[in-house]
Amino acid sequence: MQSLLLKTAGAACFVLTASTVAHAQDCTFDPDKDFFDFEQAEVDALYSCVSDRLAEAYAKEGDEIGTVYRDWGVTATGPAAPGAHSNRFLLTFANDVAYETYVQYGFGDDFSMPVGSVLAKESYSLTKEGEPRPGPLFIMTKVEAGGEAEEFGNWVYSAVRTNGKPMGIQQGFCHGCHSAFADQDSMGYPDRDVRFETN
């Protein structure tokens, strides 16, 4: 996490300097390149370009998670190339309740996240001109068993749009995919390349 924070701090300086010189040029990436061929350095550079805009977008309307998730722990060594979420690049944050458990990337029949866990995943993509475009903040909140979320693994799914407003989503849509990770308490986890080493 520390290295990411340092990187992010470095990135802020970079963007500042770049914006006075040739911002657009430095933050344009090859739109024809297959996302899966992006090197980690390119993924990191792309994040530097879009990072501030993401935090600003999600906090715009005072959303209770959109305004605080950046104070939470980062759950990977860095942002990752797109997974299943619509070809969007991503980086996930976990609140204090969730963090220690999440970064063990646990699994098994008895494995489950503590009630009160909140996971928030930033997403962004590239326009066809190769410029970074913020996408929604995807959220999962673990609630008590026995309530309305029982059929969704006791997770409540939500999302914040880039205009800062909540996104209308169907629990079944999100969980339909997440339930495939049944032995990981319905979590997909970051790409293996960017996971922290666990003991």
Nearest alpha-carbon partner for 105 in 115, 92, 116: 92
Please state the closest distance from residue 6 (CB atom) to ligand HEC, in A: 23
- Judged by the rule CB under 6 A, the positions of this chain that interact with ligand HEC are 83-85, 90, 92, 119, 121, 138-140, 157, 159, 169, 173-174, 177-178, 187-189
Nearest alpha-carbon partner for 46 in 121, 126, 161: 126
Please state the closest distance from residue 20 (CB atom) to ligand HEC, in A: 34
Q: Which residue is nearest to ligand HEC (CB)?
A: 188
In the chain, the DSSP E strands lie at: 73-74, 89-94, 118-126, 132-134, 137-142, 155-160
Nearest alpha-carbon partner for 89 in 143, 127, 126: 126
When the beta carbons of 31 and 176 are compared against ligand HEC, the nearer one is 176
Q: Which residues pair with 91 in a beta bridge?
A: 122
Please state the closest distance from residue 22 (CB atom) to ligand HEC, in A: 32
Please state the closest distance from residue 140 (CB atom) to ligand HEC, in A: 4
When the beta carbons of 27 and 187 are compared against ligand HEC, the nearer one is 187
